[in-house]
Amino acid sequence: MKKLQVVFIAIFMVTVLTTGAQEKFGKGQITQIGLVVNDIDEASKKWAAILGFDKVPEVIITDEYEKANTQFEGKPTEARAKLAFFRLENLTIELIEPVGKKSTWYKHLKKHGEGFHHIAFGVEGMEQNIAYLENKGGKLVQKGDFTGGSYSYVDMPNLGVIIELLTSTQK
């Protein structure tokens, strides 16, 4: 009987979480979980071992301000980050080591230590989605461009999470 209850609850949760999800927010899918770290090389080795990866992913560094147009708390910033991406079947784990002090990554790392930074959703229409989250109590804390798209971090204090919005310029 207990197994039947567990199966019923699992089916109910899948139905609730997937029914009309795309109509609710973004493209209806969490695409990424972001973690801030002090040392991306060490963190990458640990995550590769835990996830069963044969090798660690290549570390990349975000673009300079001239290309990324990064803004933190409404002002231009030279802050950058080292990134490593663990691409899994259902989502990507992004490791982020801040480079420079004026960024959400640095601020979050200093305040909370290593660990969870954000969940990311792919969206169409960045400005509309920022406005939507701001109407729900969010505050835009950082945004910028990258080759192939743009991102925005919206702090949602009422949820206790930062939501990253990702757009793609590639079809």
The C-alpha atoms of residue 27 and residue 81 are separated, in whole angstroms, by 26
Domains parsed from the chain with CATH numbers: 27-168 (3.10.180.10)
Q: State mean pLDDT over 62-76.
A: 93
> Could you tell me the pLDDT band of residue 27, with boundaries at 50, 70 and 90?
confident
Look-up: residue for tokens 């992913």? 57
30 pLDDT higher than 80 = yes
Q: What is the mean pLDDT of the chain?
A: 86
104 pLDDT higher than 50 = yes
Q: Measured in Å, how far apart are the chain's first and last C-alpha atoms?
A: 48
For 60-128, the DSSP string reads EEPPPHHHH--EETTEE---EEEEEEEE-SS-EEEEEEEESSSSHHHHHHHHH-SEEEEEEEE-S-HHH
